[in-house]
């Protein structure tokens, strides 16, 4: 059988980066490539297409193989939620000519597959954005959250960064408790004064990832005892728990035993996020188990692609 029909591509594309894995028909990873963001709702279809194309090329390059058409490509992309989104990305795949078949899903689906072997349970992704997705034992599925930075994404790194700026400005005005967040943000962005936030935030070139990148500063402040930062992270954890709880209720899983897969950089804050998150989840589903995947979400895309061979 020709090589091109026995390899698959798994892609994880979000608001910060795109990861592509090239694998054989046994799931062995042959090469890995990275590129920029591919959430086309945020960066546009042309930029998303370029990032996907670049990540694919780099995966083949890492595998020391010439780029060839594969059997199946699975793309798990943030911002792909509706039939028209899938159609737009399918057009990109067709134009790139990379695979015989294409599986196009939201990035939450591949994240669930990265932590489970059968794609059952609930996954919560908390990166630049935030979303929950679940599949129950009957195969019914639903999602909650993932409405983007203007309409939702509570608990995401972007939301944490945004709240940090608000808290810093409220403290600066004397409207709220003092916090070290203002100083940390000034240092991170090279601002002489906190008022410089106006030019940064309302300027034409500040991308969401830069605001999301403030989230680790909130964790740093919280670990150093900043009460305002701790409140922001408690709120974020509770919001992530709420979005998971919404999926659990809608799928009727409250009394079931199932895995809750947690993915994304926000969860790296540890107990500051996990404790309030898990308190909300277990308040709804006491038999749930938390799973931290050993594999990155792109591995879930490979697993899903292999279902098509």
| Structural domains of the chain sorted by starting position, each given as residue range(s) with its CATH number in brackets | 3-119+294-306 (3.30.420.40), 157-291 (3.30.420.40)
pLDDT in tens, the chain (309 residues): 344 448 999 999 987 789 999 999 999 999 999 999 998 888 888 999 999 999 999 999 999 999 999 999 999 998 887 889 999 999 999 999 999 999 999 888 998 998 887 778 999 999 888 999 999 999 999 999 988 888 989 999 999 999 999 999 999 999 988 999 999 999 999 998 998 888 888 877 777 788 999 999 999 999 999 999 999 999 999 999 999 999 999 999 999 999 999 988 999 999 999 999 999 999 999 999 998 988 888 999 999 999 877
> Angle 41-214-19 (CA atoms, 0-180°, nearest 5)?
45
- Beta-bridge partners for 106: 77
Q: What is the pTM of this model?
A: 0.82
Count the Cβ atoms, other than its own, within 10 Å of residue 178: 12
Inter-residue contact 221 to 179 (CB < 8 Å): yes
Q: How far apart are CA 235 and CA 221, in angstroms?
A: 15
**Residue 259: HSE in the Cβ half-sphere, 13 Å Cα cutoff:** 18
Take residue 199 and report the two structure tokens written for it.
């030019």
Q: Which pLDDT score, from 0 to 100, does residue 116 have?
A: 82
Q: Which pLDDT score, from 0 to 100, does residue 278 have?
A: 97
Phi, psi of 81 (to 5 degrees): -125, -20
């Amino acid at each position: 059988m020709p090589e091109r029909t026995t390899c698959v591509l798994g892609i994880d594309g979000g608001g910060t980066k795109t990861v592509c894995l090239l694998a054989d028909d046994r799931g062995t990873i042959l090469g890995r490539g990275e590129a920029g963001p591919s959430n086309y709702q945020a960066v546009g279809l042309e930029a998303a297409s370029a990032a996907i194309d670049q990540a694919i090329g780099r995966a083949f390059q890492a595998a020391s193989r010439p780029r060839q058409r594969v059997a199946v490509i699975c793309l798990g992309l943030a911002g792909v939620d509706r039939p028209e989104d899938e159609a737009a990305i399918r057009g990109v795949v067709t134009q790139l000519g990379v695979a015989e078949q294409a599986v196009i899903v939201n990035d939450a689906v591949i994240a669930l597959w990265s932590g489970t072997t059968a794609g059952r349970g609930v996954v919560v992704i908390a990166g630049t954005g935030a979303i929950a997705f679940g599949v129950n034992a009957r195969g019914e599925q639903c999602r909650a959250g993932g409405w983007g930075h203007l309409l939702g994404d509570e608990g995401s790194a972007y939301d944490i960064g945004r709240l940090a700026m608000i808290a810093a400005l409220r403290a600066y005005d004397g409207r709220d408790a003092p916090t070290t967040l203002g100083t940390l943000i000034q240092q991170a962005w090279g601002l002489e004064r906190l008022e410089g936030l106006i030019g940064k935030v309302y300027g034409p070139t500040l991308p969401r990832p830069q605001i999301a990148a403030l989230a680790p500063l909130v964790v740093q402040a919280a670990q150093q005892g900043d009460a305002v930062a701790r409140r922001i992270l408690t709120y974020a954890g509770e919001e992530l728990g709420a979005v998971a709880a919404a999926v659990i209720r809608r799928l009727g899983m409250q009394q079931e035993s199932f895995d809750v897969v947690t993915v994304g950089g926000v969860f790296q804050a540890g107990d500051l996020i996990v404790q309030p998150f898990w308190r909300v989840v277990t308040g709804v589903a006491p038999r749930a188990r938390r799973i931290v995947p050993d594999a990155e979400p792109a591995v879930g895309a490979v697993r899903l692609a292999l279902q098509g061979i």
